[in-house]
A and B are shown apart, each in its own frame.
Chain A
Amino acid sequence: MTRRRLRKALVGAALVVALANCGVPTDSEPRRIDSEQVPFGLLEDPNNQN
Chain B
Amino acid sequence: MATRATGTRRRVRATIPHARRLGLRARLITAFALGGLALSALMALISFSLVRQNLVEQHERTATAEAYVNARVVRDTLRGDSTDVAGALDAVQAQPGSTPVLYRDGEWYAATGATIPILLRDEVLAGQPASLRYTSGDDTLLVVGLPLPAVGAAYFEISSFAELEGTLRSLALSLVVAGLVTTVAGAALGAYASRHVLRPLAEVRQAAAAIAGGRLDTRVARVDDADLGALVGSFNDMASALQERIESDNRFASDVSHELRSPLTTLAAAVEVLEGQRDELPERARAALDLLRDDIGRFTAMVDGLLEISRFDAGAAHLALDEVDIAELVRQSVTANSDEPVPVILGPGASGCIVDVDKRRFVQVMANLLDNARKYAGGATRVTVEVNGVMVRIGVEDSGPGISPDERERVFERFSRAHREARSRGMSDGVGLGLSLVRGHVELHGGRVWVEDRPDGEPGARFVIELASVLRGLPDEPEPDLGPAAVPASEVES
Contact = CB atoms under 8 A, between A and B. Distances in A.
Interface in B59-97: 64, 68-69, 71-72, 75
A47 to B, nearest CB: 8
Nearest to B119: A30
Interface string A35-50: 1001111111111100
Contacts of B145: 30
Nearest to A19: B172
Contact of B149 (A18, A39, A43): A43
B52 A42 contact: no
Given A32-B123, A44-B149, A22 B169 contact: yes
A27 B149 contact: no
B129 A38 contact: yes
A33 B52 contact: no
A2 interface: no
B149 A26 contact: no
Contact of A42 (B56, B148, B161, B172): B148
B108 interface: no
Interface string A12-26: 000000100011111
A27 B132 contact: yes
Most buried by B among A30, A31, A32, A33: A30
A43 B130 CA distance: 12
Interface stretch (B133-141, B316-324, B460-468): B133-141
Contacts of B38: none
| B75, B127, B133, B140, most chain A CB atoms within 10 A | B133
Contacts of A40: 68-69, 71-72, 75
A24 B123 CA distance: 23
Given A45-B149, A46-B150, A24 B133 contact: yes
Contacts of B128: 32-33
Residue in B68, B129, B130, B168 whose Cβ sees the most chain A Cβ within 10 Å? B129
Contacts of B352: none
Interface in B111-132: 117, 119-120, 123, 127-132
Given A26-B134, A33-B64, A43 B140 contact: no
Nearest to A22: B172
B164 interface: yes
A39 B130 contact: no
Contacts of A35: 129
B75 to A, nearest CB: 6
A25 B131 contact: no
A25 B133 contact: yes
Given A24-B56, A42-B146, A30 B172 contact: no
B453 interface: no
A31 B52 CA distance: 19
Nearest to B173: A22
B119 A29 contact: yes
The binding surface of chain A is classed by DSSP as loop
Contacts of B165: 23-24
Nearest to B127: A43
Nearest to A23: B165
Nearest to B65: A39
B147 interface: yes
Contacts of A39: 68
Contact of A44 (B68, B69, B133, B150): B150
Contact of A48 (B149, B164, B169): B149
B62 to A, nearest CB: 14
A30 B120 contact: yes
A18 B172 CA distance: 10
Contacts of A22: 48, 168-169, 172
B111 to A, nearest CB: 21
A44 B3 CA distance: 96
A42 B71 contact: yes
23 contacts: A22-B48, A22-B169, A22-B172, A24-B133, A24-B140, A25-B56, A25-B133, A27-B132, A27-B133, A30-B117, A32-B123, A32-B128, A32-B130, A33-B129, A33-B130, A33-B144, A38-B129, A41-B150, A42-B68, A43-B149, A44-B149, A46-B150, A47-B149
- The list of the 10 closest CB pairs from A to B, nearest first, reads A45-B149, A33-B129, A30-B130, A40-B72, A30-B120, A24-B161, A24-B140, A30-B132, A26-B133, A27-B133
Given A24-B168, A33-B131, 17 more contacts: A18-B45, A23-B161, A24-B56, A24-B140, A25-B133, A26-B134, A27-B133, A27-B134, A30-B117, A30-B120, A30-B130, A32-B128, A35-B129, A40-B68, A40-B69, A42-B147, A45-B149
